[in-house]
Structure 1
């Protein structure tokens, strides 16, 4: 049995997220599996490195699947990109060791979040950024970023209801770059809880707009309660850039 690894790029604007849904064809996983079924003549289940929510994008999502077909990887790549919708692109197809697992073997991820910081919206980036009209204080947001870097229990920055698993994660990088009106937030860490990046972003933007203080980061860590953190920002500004193995 062969184990095939896919590196995938997609614009999530018109999809209901990564995970296949029984009552909808508008998922990334479902679209790819349907094309693989055409290619192999068999039912294929792909395993993603993690789920992305409706509207979230990816530049480097990773998935794998098993097959006993002898189709060359170059042929798989060509077939997938010929028949997939144009907003889903397979960037690379590789044969990997049998034990490789896209989710369980991942040791870290890199995300980006884009904020259009101007009172006038952007026509071109409306599906790929979140507009914030009010002026944002970069110095305060950078100060808050420094508090979030490191190993912490991020349960207060998560939409998880209940879990028996550890909610301790390590953020290695949290930085902000400005290009004109666009702010680019970069997150690198060993893993991220459910909606963690979007909740951190909501908290940072509230700090930047002056509606909460930098010190509330410490309070959220101490209280470990979701309601203490900021709003969950929309998914359209979020990109999964890379998965580390």
Structure 2
């Protein structure tokens, strides 16, 4: 028996999230089907986290155990030949049987992308949220630091969660701005919100972003972020931002 760990990327647009669900097309289902086609084994694929429907991953980490003797260096090529074009395995390695991609993860990084100009980008429409009116980026920037450190993030978690403990630690919460080089005017084209932490609650990043968008719109002051955090009440925070702008960027072990 071998335990294999992979780094994979996927476009989550067509899928109902990572985790297998009845009568739904999911990333986990496609991966397990590909392994079955390759080895004849029915494996259980574990991941570093269960991304929601429509959410993407640049470097998701998965693992599963197998009795297959296929050399590890051949696994990615073999899997990719059996996976749909919107799921790609990049690296493979054999790890101790005790390794679990979720339990062993020390830090995860997510990136949420907002297109902040009048018209959407047809080529990136599945990977960014289009906001056609002005956003105050300085107000958004001022709201981010209070999220750093260990906090109870109940206000930024869906009420549907089954997690009793909602304390998480954020190591990084920053904004990256990209300008539109085609116009030559230095106009901000994209806003990327990057957050890293030891773990994330269900919809946590998307609710944080939804609240930041309201701050950028002038509907809330930047100082409201601290008040919302301390309230520990989902009703105090903003809406859940749309899924297509969110990407699992990196997992550290």
Question: What TM-score, normalized to structure 2?
Answer: 0.93
Residue 75 of structure 1, CA deviation = 2.1
Matched, 1:204 2:212: yes
Correspondent of 1:188 among 187, 196, 208 = 196
| Separation of aligned partners in 2, 1:75 and 1:143 | 48
- Partner Cα distance (1:112, 1:2) in 2: 33
Partner-residue secondary structure (3-state), 1:187: strand
Cα RMSD (Å): 1.2
Unpaired runs of 5+ residues, structure 1, are none
Q: Does 2:134 match 1:126?
A: no
* Aligned-pair CA distance for 1:182: 1.0
Q: Structure 2 regions of 5+ residues with no counterpart?
A: 180-188
Distance 1:200 1:13 in 2: 21
Return structure 1 stretches of 4+ with deviation > 4 angstroms. Answer: none
2:20 matched to which residue of 1? 20
Taking the aligned partners of 2:122 and 2:102, their CA distance within structure 1 comes to: 35
Cα displacement (A) at 1:13: 0.9
Cα deviation per residue 1:184-231 (whole Å; 9 max; x = unaligned)? 111111111100000000001100110011122122122211010001
Query: TM-score under structure 1 normalisation?
Result: 0.96
CA distance in structure 1 between the partners assigned to 2:194 and 2:139 by the alignment: 16
Partner of 1:147: 146
| 1:12-62 CA-partner distances (Å, limit 9, x unpaired) | 1111110112312x2111001001001111111101111001110001111
**Counterpart check, 1:81 vs 2:89:** no
User: Helix, strand or coil for the counterpart of 2:133?
Assistant: coil
